[in-house]
Structure 1
Amino acid sequence: MAELPEARAPGSYRIALVCLGNICRSPTAHVVLESRLAEAGLDDRVEVASSGTGGWHVGNPMDPRAAATLTSAGYDPTRHRARQYDATWPGAYDLVLVMDGANLADVGGRTERVGLFRDFDPVDPGSEVPDPYYGGADGFEEVLAMVERTSDAIVAALPRALDAAAGSRD
């Protein structure tokens, strides 16, 4: 499993999540990661954003199937509105995590601060998050399970990344 890069600024961390249209995978990850951060008491120190590499859905809520899957699992997907990826994000965020190889190519490829979301998956590190858009409800449930366990791993690793940044500036 990968390690989180140090925070750019002591005491805070910024994570951007990216998929194709910002209506299924990255907003699911956004909602779950924010929820897990709140549960861990890190929501005041870690900012999460999501976007899509394509602009087709900008301003729209997430896919109703993704929203229903999140709602049935106890999450609140209602605040999400799709955004388009901004090429300045790798310089502005501590970590940019994409959902698949095509998204990775669209954002300019892997760097120290850009990689796959599932690089942090404890079950299958480095795999892609499959796009459930053209499938049934089971695809959204599969994505949610991947996102939950990967989000847990990211949240567990964040204190070290936050502390490392603070320590390197002392």
Structure 2
Amino acid sequence: MQVMYKLNDEQLITLFKKGHSTALEELVYRHKDKLYTSIVLLVKDAFLAEDIFQDTFIKIIDTIRGDRYTEKGKFLPWAMRIAHNLCVDHFRKIKRTPLIKTSDDKDIFNVLGFSEPSAEEVMMTRQSHDSVRRMLDLLPEEQREVIILRHYAELSFKEIADLTQVSINTALGRMRYGLINLRKMMTEKQICL
């Protein structure tokens, strides 16, 4: 058996279709951080994000097993679209719009750490992330969503446009105005990141 981490997403999907559950494990491991981070930034509840993350992979498994997967070479954007749609469905179900606000449950930015930082670095990083999150909370929803999908999920503007069902120019405009608004807030509050 080939080493799973060396295979691309399509090869892993093919192996999973043939009954190799380790191929699915590699797909989950490979994309879990981006998917979970995007979900938690949209729903602002770690427990709800875990549920939606699991539901996302249940839908992925059902689609692949049902031989309905047609997104050749675009697994992550497809998975992000499923996760995004599940978030939207959740908010439709409870009849309120998603608000991004600071959550005390868990600091998702700890996932990004690669080495043991000093206590001072941890405090400064946490303060910077809290400042960015508070400023993101103040942006209009459309601008906030594009910034999250671009910077945290690392989607292209075409993928963002497809996911949010707007034109690429609209996605670019939302990003531009979102960044302008963030810069204004930083200047007004004299925040230095």
So what's the TM-score if we normalise by structure 2?
A: 0.26
Highest Rg: 1 or 2? 2
User: Whose RCO is larger (CA < 8 A, sep 6+)?
Assistant: 1
The structure whose residues are more often strand, as a share, is: 1
So what's the TM-score if we normalise by structure 1?
A: 0.28
The structure whose residues are more often helix, as a share, is: 2
